[in-house]
Amino acid sequence: MSTKINARSPFYLNLTEPVQPSELFTCAIAGASGFVVSSGGIITLPTLSKGTIVGQSVDNFAAIGPTGTPTNRTLTLTIQIPANFSNTLVGTIACNVTFLQPKQAAVDTPSSNDNCPTASGTISAQTLANSTGTATVAVNGKFNRGTDSAISGYRVINNHPSFINASISGNNLILSALSTCGTKKIYVEAFQAADSCTAVQDVTITINNCTTFSCTTAGLSGGSISQNGQTIVKPTGLGIVGNIYAASAGGSAITTVAANTGTADQNITLYFDVTIPNGFSNSGVLSSRCPVSIVQNGTGLKAAACPGESVTNAETLVFSGWRILANGTTIKGNVRLSSTNLAITNFTTNFPANTSPSFDGRNVVITFTVPSGYSNAGSKSCTLSIKQEPSVNPCGSFEAHLSSGVSSIGALCDGNYGPAVIATTTINLSNGIGSSLNGTIICRGGGKFPGGSLYYAITAATQNPMAGPGMTFKVVRINNNGTVTEVHSKTCQTSGTGPQGDIQL
């Protein structure tokens, strides 16, 4: 659209490009998903659509035994606000994620088959130099296989990705230190895929050789002060937060402050001792106290506030669990106020389907009831920005190479079979071809590969020959819907179609 403006001399126009107002970064935009707590209390952190997790309220939860009760667990994440949001300068926001922690499975009876792996000994602690330290740790000797089934593989659970890079390569844990010093725990899990059972070992990692620790390094944020001044919740950051002081120097430690007799909230700057974590060039308690500005409640009633809403004595509502599926359906989540779930009366749903491969922004209007005891008790609505999930691509993006198809596995021993089909799959075959490929979809040209229930040699990269006399190779059987129905490992001693080292995975 354009606008024509007529002006006579000597009038002049001074026009500036309109600026798009920046968006408020909220928990909904962060889009945390995939939070899991195992029966043993081990946390798998969620992934974010935007932002970076820089802290968490706990490292693990208590285990729940076979006779225990599944329990809802809430983890508070400290999320770094990315650039170009209206509240970027605030630094971080706190977002809650929840998961129903299951109880441990009942112990098998002695007469039943026990396919599950078990831990054996411990994985030794690792000390690495800041930014440069690496380590390779063999983990296969730290777990025992089940009586009737081998260990399918290993995975790493790393809840401190800004502290340490950790991955699994075959039977090895690969570690690479990042630039933050301290001591953290990660976990290695051995799994037996067919029975969905696991065993877990923790690994303590210390990163040292850092520069001098300071209040800037500590990065303290959060905390609260009650209206009567009798309760002070300390902020969190890197290092252990200790004594509280009213001034940057001098005076004794305090546990309370004066009451706030005004109706409005107020900011109070307090100063904190911080114990330096392991690995820095200095140690002990910082010689200078670290200042943090903390909100103290006023006497007026709190007002339930939507994220980013500016009201007096605001208590921000927390939205969690809300999703919009690719088909346009809104999955109802929670609205919490002071850790209480509010009654939801209505919310927007039935959006158009998202047929693209990327997330699509939507606004969901959620109406709920604010309880008594708040200045705005009654019906209230908030508009939540949620990313609608993209359509699922069953084809995946990992390259696979197939030979021409044959009616029996042994026929692949009759000649030197080269790559005939370039395909894609949801599993990265360069990490190994195993039973996990069973039930997945093989695609070609963006559509499902019509396999005709034939057998195909399969590799991650081009290899010629792929199959034939004297070779060991992997074989998949693919039906006309592109689904892998069988996975085999084949060794051809000579040509011919007889049974020659055929192992079904």
Give percent of the chain with pLDDT exceeding 90: 30
Indicate if the pLDDT at residue 332 is higher than 60: yes
Contacts of 2 (CB under 8 A, 6+ apart): none
**3-state class (DSSP) for residue 27:** helix
Between the CA of residue 22 and those of 25, 78, 300, what are the distances in Å?
9, 21, 31
pLDDT category of residue 339 using cuts at 50, 70 and 90:
confident
Asked which of 38-52, 215-229, 258-272 is least confident by mean pLDDT, the reply is 38-52
Asked whether residue 415 carries a pLDDT value surpassing 50, the answer given is yes
Q: How confident is the model at residue 221 (pLDDT cuts 50, 70, 90)?
A: confident
Q: What is the pLDDT of residue 52?
A: 80
**Peptide bond preceding 10 in cis form (omega within 30 of 0):** yes
Q: Is the pLDDT of residue 277 over 90?
A: no
- Classify 34 in phi/psi space as left (phi over 0), alpha (psi -120 to 50) or beta: left
Model confidence pLDDT, tens digit, residues 445-494 = 777 888 888 999 999 887 778 888 878 889 999 998 888 988 988 888 76
Chain mean position to CA 135: 24
CA dihedral 188, 192, 193, 196 (to 10 degrees): -90
φ/ψ of 30, rounded to 5, equals -60, -40
Q: How buried is residue 228: exposed, middle or buried, by Cβ count under 10 Å (0-12/13-18/19+)? A: middle
Burial degree of 16 (CB within 10 A; 0-12, 13-18, 19+)? exposed
What is the structure's pLDDT at 113? 43
Q: How confident is the model at residue 11 (pLDDT cuts 50, 70, 90)?
A: very low
Residue with tokens 């006309």: 480
Q: Determine the Cα–Cα distance for residues 251 and 75; give it in Å rounded to an integer.
A: 36
Condensed to tens digits (0 to 9), the pLDDT of residues 119-168 reads 999 999 999 998 899 999 999 999 998 877 788 888 888 888 878 999 88
Domain extent listing, the chain: 27-101, 122-208, 215-296, 303-388, 398-504
d(CA 331, CA 349): 8
Across the beta sheet with 71-80, the strand order is 52-56, 71-80, 92-101
When pLDDT is averaged across residues 378-402 and rounded to a whole number, the result is 85
Architecture category of domain 122-208 in CATH: Sandwich (2.60)
What pTM was computed for the model? 0.47
439: left (phi > 0), else alpha (psi -120 to 50), else beta? left
Q: Which of 243, 236, 296, 293 is nearest to 272 (CA)?
A: 243
At 162, list the tokens: 């800004």
Query: Quick one: how many helices (H) and strands (E) in the chain?
Result: 2, 37
Is the distance from CB of 237 to CB of 219 less than 8 angstroms?
A: yes
Q: Please say whether the beta carbons of 334 and 396 come within 8 A.
A: no
Q: Work out the mean pLDDT of the chain and round it to a whole number.
A: 83
What length is written for the chain? Answer: 505
What distance in Å separates the CA atoms of residue 260 and residue 254, rounded to the nearest whole number?
A: 17
- 380-416 residues labelled b (16+ CB within 10 A) or e (exposed): bebebbbbbbeeeeebbeebbbbbebbeebbbbbbee
Tokens 């939070």, located at residue:
35
Identity of the residue numbered 394: P
Q: How far is CA 462 from CA 69, 309, 406, 419, 451, in A?
A: 52, 57, 19, 7, 19
pLDDT score of 6 more than 70: no
Residue 319 near residue 31 (C-beta atoms within 8 A) = no
Residue 67 to residue 460: CA distance in whole angstroms:
45
Percent helix, strand, coil in the chain, to 5, is: 5, 40, 55
At residue 1, the pLDDT reads: 43
